[in-house]
Amino acid sequence: MSIFFKDNAVQQTFNKDGFVKLKMFSEEEAAAFKTFYDSLAISDEKKYGFSVSIDEMDNEVRKKLNAFFRSDVFPRFAEFLHQPKFFTGSYMIKEPYPTGTVAAHQDWTFVDETSYQSLMCWISLDKTDLSNGAMAFIRGGHLFFDQVRGFPCPLVPEPVEEFRYKLMPYMNVINTEPGDVLIFDNKTIHGSFPNTTQTTRHGISITLTQSAAEFVAYYLNPTVKDKYELVKYKVDDDFFDRYNNPGFHQKYAAAKMLDDLQELERITLIPQKKNWNEMLVLLEQHGNTFHPELEEKFGHLMNEQEKWHLSELYKLRNNAPGGVIRKIRSLLGV
């Protein structure tokens, strides 16, 4: 594993759990970050209860945001981390919405994970707890799978996708104060419950690695019909100034490659599979327990959302132009 943290005790906790919480910004700085967000007037167009500024379709807005994150937010990380290297940033906004679950998932692969790690750094701009959608993690979740995660999501199979909602009662909800930062491996399984309050929850995510690592992105080849072929591209830190997940869906639907990027290799993805009993063993090994209060409060919602999620995922994968269809599902058991 990479040595990221200057504090060895923090590094050890990170190695074990896949996440840590640090106090890195003042409440005044957190308030200033919120003020900047409000000045952009970005709306929740999907009306799902969770929006990220990285999905903003206006490239100029994304460029403005990343310039702000680089100059006003990212420099602080050098006080806590060895040679951090900026990749991208985004506001992570959770509006009041009683069904706005962000179910258990892993983030995209941004580096060669056989040699390096990349981090997501979630900066709390408000006081958070279970009631307004605080971040939640599976301890040791960065050690469960080693499959690459690519674009466009969710066309590329993810290891945890069939257990996204079953995992939610095992989540460890981490309360935060303004200025707290939750730093976690992009492989760490995480999510959040709905914001059931009357006020919006604000956060910022900064994705980074260390200076020696090169950034990469994996894109599902839309011209290959009979397998999950991922094209690995070399990318720079302006990647998300030009691309985002909605844009990848547009490219994929038009059967277009990412011709302005340097192609490194093509790999055939064999989706990693575990059954629920294997997942339960991993959960216990890493100190995750079932939380009855989460099941009591959100169990019915999770069951209904799981049915919808699996149904929509099946329709999306089987109807995607040039995508991976029933033949692959039967061959691979996906």
The domain that contains 78 carries what CATH number? 2.60.120.620
User: Where would I find the H helices in the chain?
Assistant: 8-17, 27-40, 59-68, 239-242, 245-253, 276-285, 292-319, 326-332
| CB-CB neighbours of 79 under 10 Å | 10
3-state helix, strand, coil in the chain (%, to 5): 35, 25, 40
Q: Does any domain span residue 292?
A: yes
Q: Does any domain span residue 235?
A: no
Domain span at 118: 8-217+271-332
**Do 163 and 310 meet the contact criterion of CB atoms below 8 Å apart?**
no
Distance CA 156, CA 162 (A): 13
Q: Does any domain span residue 328?
A: yes
The pLDDT confidence band at residue 38, using thresholds 50, 70 and 90, is confident
Work out the average pLDDT over 33-57: 69
Q: Does any domain span residue 250?
A: no
Q: How far is CA 128 from CA 87, 101, 123, in A?
A: 26, 15, 11
pLDDT at 333 over 50: no
Q: pLDDT tens, 174-208?
A: 999 999 999 999 999 999 999 999 999 999 999 99
Distance CA 321, CA 330 (A): 18
Question: Residue 330: what pLDDT?
Answer: 37
The pLDDT confidence band at residue 138, using thresholds 50, 70 and 90, is very high
Determine which helix (DSSP H) or strand (DSSP E) holds 120, and give its type and residue range.
Answer: strand 119-124
- Token representation of residue 34: 């919120």
HSE-up of residue 263 (Cα within 13 Å, Cβ side): 11
Percentage of the chain lying above the pLDDT 90 cut: 64
Q: Does any domain span residue 241?
A: no
Q: Does any domain span residue 319?
A: yes
Question: Residue 65: what pLDDT?
Answer: 87
Q: pLDDT tens, 121-130?
A: 999 999 999 9
Distance CA 288, CA 310 (A): 25
Question: Residue 322: what pLDDT?
Answer: 43
Work out the average pLDDT over 2-10: 94
Question: Residue 242: what pLDDT?
Answer: 83
- Report the number of distinct structural domains present in the chain: 1
Q: Does any domain span residue 290?
A: yes
Q: Give the SS3 label for residue 206.
A: strand
pLDDT at 279 over 60: yes
The pLDDT confidence band at residue 324, using thresholds 50, 70 and 90, is very low
Residue type, 229: E
Q: How many helices (H) and strands (E) does the chain have?
A: 8, 13
Q: Does any domain span residue 13?
A: yes
- The residue written with tokens 């700085």 in the block is 29
Distance CA 7, CA 59 (A): 37
